[in-house]
A and B are shown apart, each in its own frame.
Chain A
Amino acid sequence: MLARLGHRLLAGLAVVLGVVTLTFLLLHAAPGDPVDIMLGPTATAEQLAAQRRALGLDQPLPRQFATWVGRSARGDWGTSIATGRPVAAMLGNAWPATARLVVLSLILSYLIGLAVGALQAARSGSRLDTLLSVVSVTLFGIPGYWLGLMLVLVFTYWARLLPAFGIAGLDSDYLQGTSLLVDRLRHLALPLVTLTLIGIGGAARFVRGAMLETLSQPFITTAWAKGLTARRVVGRHALRNALTPVVILLGLSLPALFSGAVFVETVFAWPGVGRVLVEAVKARDYPVVMAATAVSAVLVVAGNVLADVLAAWLDPRVRSGEAAQ
């Protein structure tokens, strides 16, 4: 188990390094650099050259890369070229907002998706199953930012119930106790619902498939033959066994959720990592892009490793190395 974990972590480290290298190459292969954007079209060639020298952008690429890797390994992420703020502080402020959104929607969408998928599999072929299938396929196909816009249209502009932008109201600094919490929750509502609804579609589809496969296996027939109630057969015998692929998908969907968050954060002006990344890419803000990419690569890898560990914990067959499939 430990050797397996170590192996996965090493592979993960290689992926993160690869992502960072690729990002670096892409950034520098593209036309234009942050200094062009920073100094604007009126800057003279000398001014551009001086600024590039000051930022170390005139160094050979391998040296720039080595410098970046060396510094970030020591925890120094550098300073944002566009905003002049320390990159660590920018990401440090942004990641709790993203984590709150992504983790909550992951939990909610999987709880609801599990329930819906299990219900569908138990009533497979019924009208209810068809109806829920239509709903989950539709949710699965809706682009997050469009769903977000529609929710804003309905709940902000028409019903005037919920705020559409930001993480807190203008007056939130003066709020205390319950009213502060209410303000935060009201701002969280629309982005969270958007991400969760989309997640439910995928989760329910997958759970239904996994459950149907489990329900067709001999041990389920045995359970029925023993005269167990439907609740027990579906809930205890089938659901538990169908959980392994679901947990693996859960880990794998962490990066997908993060991707969704990039768009949803843009729609709702949510001050998270996704928005920092989008802004930084547009401004060619090298240090911020590098750091944000590294963070998201770590997230992806962590999701995969987490899924692996959870699957091993749930399923002894995976643990002992004889894969379930």
Chain B
Amino acid sequence: MTRPWLLRDRRGAFGVLILIVFVACAIAAPLVTNGEPTVQRDIVATRFVPPLSRDVNGVFHPIGTDRFGRDVWTRLVYGARVSMGVGVLAVLVAVILGVVVGALAGYWRGPLSVALLALTDFALALPRVVLLLLLAALWQPSTLLVVAVLGLTGWMGIARLVHGEVRSLAARPFVEGAVAVGARRLRILARHILPNALTPVIVAAALGVGNAIVLEAGLSYLGLGVQAPTPSWGNMITSGSDTLVNAPWVAIAPGVALVLVVVACTLLGDALRDVLDPNVRG
């Protein structure tokens, strides 16, 4: 029901289009690239090939090669799998945590609610990047750790949103009706309240994915995120920054891809908010 509305919004349509292109490329990675993001052949002969040209073997490189002679386009597309995958998974973790905490705190008044809210406020006040640094630097860096760390530091906003929604919904007549016919509390929460509380969560999640991708890239940039040779946009920018002078395309390409995806997520989030909640104008 919401889809045609969403596409009628120009921002939403643009965001969806960009994301579809990126997701399609990421899924079809072996088909649209040479399928070998980490393979290094004759490094000296094939390194630093400029964009839109062929190397000594006659292989065409649309965005050139990096210092190990790896095709940047191939790494970009496989990096999309990692970066976007990490972003989406991290937000999924954050959403699940946030919904559980927010719903429990909003529906069960009492000491549990107070404790959960205090925990949320506390976690919200923590300096996120410092926490990310600590968590990522102290353990062996890995893709899974990045997902966990981003998820564990990103749930508080969603918990607050859900808490507010659940509290106001719990006082509505349709919930009182469900209580009157004797439905169990958990059932009321899951079937009657939460589905109505999800709108702001969807918006926050769309915005959160972009944010998570930027943070993942930041961690990878500091050497604390996804580890080479697995390509992620963050570690591609890092390795490109070493060869900024003679091969700027290595750092430019993943950055442009990253900005496009983040902008698409933001536009989609804005459009969703306007479409799903006409009361709020942004």
Contacts and interface: CB of A to CB of B under 8 A. Distances in A.
B180 to A, nearest CB: 32
A208 B140 CA distance: 43
A278 B133 CA distance: 7
Contact of B137 (A259, A281, A301): A281
Interface of B: 122, 125-131, 133-135, 137-140, 210, 214, 217-218, 221-222, 237, 240-241, 244-245, 248, 251-252, 255, 258-259, 262-263, 265-267, 270, 281-282
B281 A263 contact: no
23 contacts: A19-B130, A23-B130, A26-B138, A27-B134, A32-B138, A137-B266, A137-B270, A140-B266, A142-B255, A143-B214, A145-B221, A146-B237, A146-B259, A149-B241, A150-B252, A153-B252, A209-B281, A259-B130, A277-B130, A281-B137, A284-B138, A297-B125, A299-B127
Interface of A: 14-15, 18-19, 22-23, 26-27, 29-32, 137-138, 140-146, 149-150, 152-153, 157, 208-209, 212-213, 216, 255, 258-259, 262-263, 266-267, 277-278, 281-282, 284, 289, 292-293, 296-297, 299-301, 304
B122 A15 contact: yes
Contact of B138 (A19, A27, A153): A27
Contacts of B221: 143, 145, 263, 266
A18 B259 contact: no
Contacts of A289: 134
The 6 closest A-B pairs by CB, nearest first: A30-B138, A141-B262, A259-B129, A146-B255, A281-B137, A15-B125
A262 B241 contact: no
Contacts of B138: 26-27, 29-32, 281, 284
B133 A277 contact: yes
A266 B222 contact: yes
Given A141-B266, A145-B218, A145-B237, A18 B122 contact: yes
Contact of B218 (A143, A150, A212, A301): A143
Contacts of A267: 241
Contact of A138 (B133, B217, B263): B263
B127 A19 contact: yes
Nearest to A255: B127
Given A137-B267, A258-B127, A149 B251 contact: yes
Given A22-B126, A281-B138, 19 more contacts: A15-B126, A22-B131, A26-B138, A27-B138, A30-B138, A141-B214, A141-B262, A143-B217, A144-B218, A150-B255, A152-B244, A153-B252, A213-B281, A255-B127, A258-B127, A262-B133, A266-B222, A281-B134, A293-B127
Contacts of A145: 218, 221, 237
Contacts of B133: 262, 277-278, 281
Nearest to A293: B130
Nearest to A212: B281
B244 A149 contact: yes
Contacts of B265: 141
Contact of A137 (B131, B214, B218, B263): B263
A177 B43 CA distance: 51
Nearest to B135: A26
B258 A143 contact: yes
A243 to B, nearest CB: 18
Contacts of B245: 157
